[in-house]
Structure 1
Amino acid sequence: MSKVLIIGAGGVGGVCVHKCAQVPEVFSEIVLASRTIEKCDAIAASVKERTGRDIVTDTVDADNVPELVELINKHKPVLVINLALPYQDLTIMDACLETGVHYLDTANYEPLDEAKFEYKWQWEYQDRFKEKGLMALLGSGFDPGVTNVFCAHAMKHQFDEIHQLDIIDCNAGDHGHPFATNFNPEINIREVTANGRYWEHGEWIETDPLSFSMNYDFPEGIGPKKCFLMYHEELESLVKHLKGLKRARFWMTFSDQYLNHLKVLENVGMTRIDTVKYNGQDIVPLKFLKEVLPEPAGLGERTKGRTCIGCRIKGMKDGEPKDYYIYNICDHEEAFKEVASQAVSYTTGVPAMIGAMLMLTGKWTGEGVFNMEELDPDPFMEKLNIHGLPWTEVTFKN
């Protein structure tokens, strides 16, 4: 029986609270905090209606270490689940170190003034967490997160050597808006407009944003979709931990409508992350754009279709070449029925709960900072099938 503190009341936070509430034998007490108490209270009301459980709510400025320390000392959780913005990872990690509490997040740190996705800042916390006897689990979402565990599972059970990895993320859902993002617009647009990058023959190769694409035929009736090469943070840890890897890439699907809107917004300067003057005030165009776009947490009721996220892996097994695909399909409407959220938030919030569950039950333990693929994949893979994200494996004939 353990108390957790969840920071962040967006779409992913909402899913994670609902899923934690479904497992009272592990999550005996749940506290939800964010800058906006009304969002926390709305999630708590939804959880109460669905599960009958009471969620404690509170407020915090996650940029402020003393406030975070005060919050943690007030509620005394065993684990902090960080579902706030990636800019706030380090302040929350600092607060966990100061209060002696374990840490988990779903996305790596990036500086506020530069769209730069790197683990180096968080990896530098290794010695501090180890010295305190604490565990920090990084990237316990879907990608990163489940995709890392898929790779660890493949390495443990399917391959002797992994040579090529393609992580392929398809959202085949439709929310009916001309332009909206399925997770935080600010993070989404920073990610999509950044240069692409992939790993090949021991070095990183950089590409212009969305300049490389491929068509991929997705399973279970989703069919062929155009996918664009991007840089995604799990590549950085996977190329470090998967020995023998010769090439690793990440792909994501986007509709023509999304890309056309994004191009126009980019051309007129609305995706800029630097400060501009407006009526004597400093504003960041992308932050303003975020305020006028639909709130991702509110898209669930009108989103239909499915997501398909998986890993296409090639390598060697028993001296023979092997071509293998492992994936999950998640239905937007089914996710909304269960936890009042669309599938993009669901596929991140559920793995956050599972990672926390494995830490609290002692299935995943350690001192220091860990990426998902460094831990035993078997208990995580088992929980995916139980808690709403079942996976499928396919081996293609050579």
Structure 2
Amino acid sequence: MSSVLIIGAGGVGSVVAHKCAQLPNTFTEITLASRTLSKCETIAESVNQRYQVPISTAQVDADNVSETVALIQKVQPSLVINVALPYQDLPLMDACLEAGVHYLDTANYEPPNEAKFEYHWQWAYQERFEKAGLKALLGSGFDPGVTNVFTAWALKHHFDEIHYLDIVDVNGGDHGQAFATNFNPEINIREVTAPCRHWEDGAFQETPAMSTHQSFTCPEGVGTYSIYRMYHEEMESLTKHIPTIKRAQFWMSFSDNYIKHLEVLQNVGMTRIDEVEYNGQKIIPLQFLKAVLPDPGDLGKTTTGRTCIGCIIRGNRKGKEKAIYVYNICNHEACFEEVGSQGVSYTTGVPAMIGAKLMLDGTWTSEAGVWNMEQNDPDPFMDALNQYGLPWTCVELTPEAAKSLTVT
């Protein structure tokens, strides 16, 4: 018997609940909890209609450790799957330690008052999880998550040393909205507007946000897009655990329309994360903006097109320079047909389910402690991606093509 407690009822939480319900022999009992109970109930109804699998629901404030501990003690799960906000990672890890249960998340901790997401806060829990005999798996989404596993798999099967890593995340979908974000607007905009950092010369180098961009043509006819270099958390763990990496960069696609709206919102102060006073009340402009933007969980109904996310990797094999591109292409409409969500939520939720499965069946993280994705054997995860909805492709590149991010 392996029960799970999923905390978070947004677009990703919905995908995780649906995908867990597809494997009733692994996830024998599912509880979905969130601050807003009605969201949990809507997802539970959808799961039951699609798979005739009932899931329990609960209300919980994930910032409140004692409240979460009480829920864990009531549900008695084997694992807590955290798909709530990154601000809540540490309270939920504290609750898991107090209640004695394993932990998994999809994104690293970010303090509410500063757009700075780093792993060191969670890595500091290593000794506490070891002493408690508990396992914590960090970043089991797509990026971070699958991109970490792609890199570890490449090192295991294609390289003696990895020297250059470019992670390219393209969303070629069209949601039909004037302006919307494909995941939590508050988190998305904080990431995009934060200073860019990339790894080079043994340290992270900082440049202004969105200051470096180029054109990228995806394989399989997905299209050509403008990709912008920005900071993403998997670079922090990958450069720590694969020390031969000389340079690591993360790139994400944004349309001209998105950039135009973002610039206006920044210029008028709507992306601020500090408090301002309005009508005698303290509000945070970005949180107000989130409230008026479309809910990413509702975008699946109108989104068409495909995502293309992968790793362009250069290094050495048997004394010769080598380059590969390993990637996944995901269809928004197919995702909505399967689980009622758009592809961005799907590409995060499926890896969360896979990570949970590998933890519960003992394939991964057999030792207690805090683990990143690339510290585990990549092969079972890569096999599961093909089996559960995110098939991948690996192609050889010339080193020259890899240098210029040319994959077609």
TM-score tier after normalising by the smaller chain length:
over 0.9
Q: Which amino acid aligns with 2:208?
A: D
Q: Which amino acid aligns with 2:386?
A: N
Supply the distance in 2 between the matched residues of 1:242 and 1:170 (Cα, whole angstroms). Answer: 25
1:147 aligns with 2:144: no
Q: Which amino acid aligns with 1:226?
A: S
Provide the residue aligned with 1:69 in structure 2. 69
Provide the residue aligned with 2:388 in structure 1. 387
Supply the distance in 1 between the matched residues of 2:172 and 2:188 (Cα, whole angstroms). Answer: 17
1:108 alignment partner, SS class: coil
Supply the distance in 2 between the matched residues of 1:52 and 1:319 (Cα, whole angstroms). Answer: 55
Structure 2 gap segments, 5+ residues each: 400-408
Once the two structures are superposed, what CA deviation does each residue of 1:315-373 show, in whole Å capped at 9, x if it has no partner?
Answer: 01111110100000000000000000000000000000000000000001221000000
Q: CA deviation at 1:224?
A: 2.0
Supply the distance in 2 between the matched residues of 1:225 and 1:116 (Cα, whole angstroms). Answer: 27
TM-score norm. by structure 2 comes to 0.97
Matches within 5 A, 1:128-277: 128-277=128-277
Supply the distance in 1 between the matched residues of 2:189 and 2:206 (Cα, whole angstroms). Answer: 18
Provide the residue aligned with 2:352 in structure 1. 352
Supply the distance in 2 between the matched residues of 1:203 and 1:368 (Cα, whole angstroms). Answer: 26
Once the two structures are superposed, what CA deviation does each residue of 1:29-76 show, in whole Å capped at 9, x if it has no partner?
Answer: 000000011000000000001000000000000010010000000100
Q: Which amino acid aligns with 1:289?
A: L
1:27 aligns with 2:27: yes
Q: CA deviation at 1:160?
A: 0.5
Q: Which amino acid aligns with 1:72?
A: I
1:282 aligns with 2:268: no
Supply the distance in 2 between the matched residues of 1:293 and 1:157 (Cα, whole angstroms). Answer: 44
Supply the distance in 1 between the matched residues of 2:390 and 2:59 (Cα, whole angstroms). Answer: 31
1:369 aligns with 2:396: no
Provide the residue aligned with 1:91 in structure 2. 91
Q: Which amino acid aligns with 1:203?
A: A
1:98 alignment partner, SS class: helix
Once the two structures are superposed, what CA deviation does each residue of 1:68-124 show, in whole Å capped at 9, x if it has no partner?
Answer: 000000100010000000000000000000011000000000100000011010000
Deviates more, 1:219-228 or 1:41-50: 219-228
Supply the distance in 2 between the matched residues of 1:29 and 1:151 (Cα, whole angstroms). Answer: 33
Q: CA deviation at 1:274?
A: 0.2
Q: Which amino acid aligns with 2:395?
A: V
Once the two structures are superposed, what CA deviation does each residue of 1:111-162 show, in whole Å capped at 9, x if it has no partner?
Answer: 0000001101000000000000000000000000000000000000010110
TM-score norm. by structure 1 comes to 0.99
Q: CA deviation at 1:397?
A: 3.6
Supply the distance in 1 between the matched residues of 2:216 and 2:239 (Cα, whole angstroms). Answer: 23
Alignment root-mean-square deviation, CA = 0.6
Q: CA deviation at 1:396?
A: 1.6
Matches within 5 A, 1:333-344: 333-344=333-344
1:299 alignment partner, SS class: helix
Provide the residue aligned with 1:298 in structure 2. 298
Provide the residue aligned with 1:109 in structure 2. 109
Supply the distance in 1 between the matched residues of 2:246 and 2:261 (Cα, whole angstroms). Answer: 36
Q: CA deviation at 1:25?
A: 0.8
Supply the distance in 2 between the matched residues of 1:44 and 1:97 (Cα, whole angstroms). Answer: 27
Matches within 5 A, 1:3-18: 3-18=3-18
Asked whether the 8 Å contact 2:172–2:223 carries over to 1, the reply is: no
Supply the distance in 1 between the matched residues of 2:50 and 2:318 (Cα, whole angstroms). Answer: 49
Asked whether the 8 Å contact 2:105–2:139 carries over to 1, the reply is: yes
Deviates more, 1:221-230 or 1:107-116: 221-230
1:150 alignment partner, SS class: helix
Supply the distance in 2 between the matched residues of 1:100 and 1:70 (Cα, whole angstroms). Answer: 12
Q: How many residues align?
A: 398
Q: Which amino acid aligns with 2:203?
A: E
Q: CA deviation at 1:304?
A: 0.1
1:269 alignment partner, SS class: coil
1:125 aligns with 2:125: yes
1:263 alignment partner, SS class: helix
Provide the residue aligned with 1:78 in structure 2. 78
Supply the distance in 2 between the matched residues of 1:52 and 1:222 (Cα, whole angstroms). Answer: 35
Asked whether the 8 Å contact 2:314–2:322 carries over to 1, the reply is: yes
Supply the distance in 2 between the matched residues of 1:225 and 1:392 (Cα, whole angstroms). Answer: 20
Supply the distance in 1 between the matched residues of 2:382 and 2:283 (Cα, whole angstroms). Answer: 44
1:258 alignment partner, SS class: helix
1:24 alignment partner, SS class: coil
1:57 aligns with 2:57: yes
2:28 alignment partner, SS class: strand
Q: CA deviation at 1:201?
A: 1.5
Supply the distance in 1 between the matched residues of 2:160 and 2:80 (Cα, whole angstroms). Answer: 36
1:294 alignment partner, SS class: coil
2:68 alignment partner, SS class: helix
Provide the residue aligned with 2:402 in structure 1. none
